[in-house]
Structure 1
Amino acid sequence: MTDAPAGAAHAVPARCTPAPAADALAGLRILVPRDGEGAVRAEAAIAARGAVPVRLPLITAVPPRDPAALDAAVARWAAGHYDWLVVTSAAGASAIAGAGARAGVGRGIAAVGPATAAALAAHGLTAALTPTSEFTGAALGAELVERLATATPSARVLLAVAAAAGDDVERALRDAGHRVDRVTAYRTVPAPRDPAGEREVAAHGVAAVLVTSGSVARELAARFDAGPAGALTVAIGPPSAAVLVELGRPADVVASHHTIPGMLDALAAHLTAHPQTTPPRTTGDHA
């Protein structure tokens, strides 16, 4: 499966074994608002449930305004200057790899969750720590602090994050007495508009939209005044749900397991508990 051009809305044919008919998601169109490898993984997870992924990128990751600062920070990590490198997204994993992070150099890498760890692995990098339950910055910060309490009481940590990322990890580490250098690994910006793709979504509808970040929530509100019409909004976790509330568009579903499969499980559970909210199903592409 290849990436679509930014802004290209299309229904992606299932390339996985269809889910059993009993799956509450079977036949539903689900909007994927990202591009790149994250979108590919989301599409595969959706297709595996027998649903139809519809890609319409709302945001995209671009290089930082000062790429030299990222290159220099990664070089310091590779030289052993830092005890840990913290990565909080798949886009961040790609960014540090592009800046020169390689296997066999540097010290530990901490990832916010399995998707980020998988993105690191795709570049030959291994996450030595991921949270055991919640895949959030707060959980990662707490578990890294716990790990450092016995091994490195005063550690030096490099935090490679999006320009607009929160400070949960940073605050947890600083409050515990550790030294943190924060570097911008990438910026999240609105994806190019695709009026035809947006019209396709408006005309044929989607059952649900996967809101995987606050940035997605904001761009969704900017592009669709009250929609997509009839679609359930699924937030990946409390931070994204909080942004939706701020925008006056509370999430219909909030995942307790902060991954794409967790979002799909939460959506399926919601539809099973509230069958009257299930949108019409489809058996083919509309694109």
Structure 2
Amino acid sequence: MSISGVLAGRTALLLRSADRASATIAALRERGARTALCQLIDFELPADTAELDAGLRRLLAGGFDWCVFTSVNTLTALALRAKAMGLELAVPSATRIAVVGEATARAVLKLGASVDFMPEADHSARGMLAEWDALRASPASVFMPQADIASATLRTGFAAHGWDAHIVVAYNTVAAPADPARALVSPAGAPATDLPPGGRRLHIDELAASLPDIDAVFFTSPSTVDRFLAVAPAPDAALDLIAIGDSTAARLRERGFTPAAVADLPTPAGMIAAWEAALAASGPGRPRPTRT
């Protein structure tokens, strides 16, 4: 629930691309807040896709009991490889699908497939292991394409339950911009780059100097924490550092910074609610900015 007026006049820094930030920019604008945007990380296909391609062919041939998608990026990577191989990305109806959260579920539905499992409370690898009853039934085969920097949480969980897990790197996380030849761009075309009203774009060279005009930074992954601190290693203590989840919060702490708040859900609404709650908890002594 929105805390009325607490964000008015404040500015949040988003460290992602325009297409991924548009929903957050619009929601912040509704609350009277402004947004600065500086994309620090990007995504690209691995240089060698042989293992990914083999897993994709097996998936499309019905060779797995389950397929796990932990991000929209994995679906984009599979769509790119399917197109390159002249195949249709259509998960067989007998293959069940598990996803980590709502954005990934929506991407699966766009493929014309259905979602058989999504954690209700904790939209993370940890939450999947805790809530996924099928894991505690008979062992099964599972295909999981993932990022090169993904944690071993699910891999360890599958092994503990005796599942035959085929886990492959679907995409690499790199400093922006990605190599155009391997950039993770939807086969439907390049994403929109125009910012909604209320947003302004910062070049990476402007980032450190612009921080005095920023009230909060939204971190959506551990890699954005690392990249941000590489560009701005000594952010002001007055900045509210908002983490999308526990792993991102843990990375901030590892780097010597305390998150002002951690989102309950890894969504734009969850991030914004976390910032609102942090400001409300700081009490009436927390002044609103006076800049224009």
Which TM-score band applies after superposition, normalised by the shorter structure? 0.7 to 0.9
Spell out the pairing of 1:135-284 with structure 2 (5 A cutoff). Answer: 135-144=123-132, 146-150=133-137, 153-192=138-177, 194-198=203-207, 201-202=210-211, 205-227=213-235, 230-275=238-283, 276-277=285-286, 279-280=288-289
1:29–1:281 CA contact under 8 A, matched in 2: no
The DSSP-based 3-state class of the residue aligned with 2:52 is helix
* 1:142 maps to amino acid: A
Q: TM-score, normalised by structure 2?
A: 0.80
* 1:156 maps to amino acid: S
User: Residue 45 of structure 1 aligns with which residue?
Assistant: 27
| Mapped partners of 2:219, 2:111: distance in 1 | 26
| Mapped partners of 1:119, 1:37: distance in 2 | 15
Alignment equivalent of 2:92, drawn from 105, 109, 127: 105
1:271–1:278 CA contact under 8 A, matched in 2: no
Q: Deviations over 1:73-100 (max 9, x none)?
A: 1221111111111111122222222233
Q: TM-score, normalised by structure 1?
A: 0.81
Measure how far apart 1:255 and its partner are.
1.8
| Mapped partners of 1:116, 1:200: distance in 2 | 35
Structure 1, gaps ≥5 residues long: 1-18
| Identical columns (%) | 31
Bigger RCO (CA 8 Å, 6+ sep): 2
Alignment equivalent of 2:17, drawn from 21, 35, 38: 35
Measure how far apart 1:218 and its partner are.
0.6
Change beyond 3 A, Cα 1:79–1:188: same
Change beyond 3 A, Cα 1:282–1:20: farther
Q: Deviations over 1:111-143 (max 9, x none)?
A: 111122223334444432111101111111233
RMSD across aligned positions (CA): 2.6
| Mapped partners of 1:20, 1:112: distance in 2 | 25
Deviates most, 90-99 or 116-125: 116-125
Measure how far apart 1:175 and its partner are.
0.4
Measure how far apart 1:36 and its partner are.
5.5
1:160–1:184 CA contact under 8 A, matched in 2: yes
Measure how far apart 1:38 and its partner are.
2.4
1:85–1:158 CA contact under 8 A, matched in 2: yes
| Mapped partners of 1:195, 1:57: distance in 2 | 8
* 1:213 maps to amino acid: S
* 2:105 maps to amino acid: A
Spell out the pairing of 1:108-123 with structure 2 (5 A cutoff). Answer: 108-123=96-111
The DSSP-based 3-state class of the residue aligned with 1:233 is strand
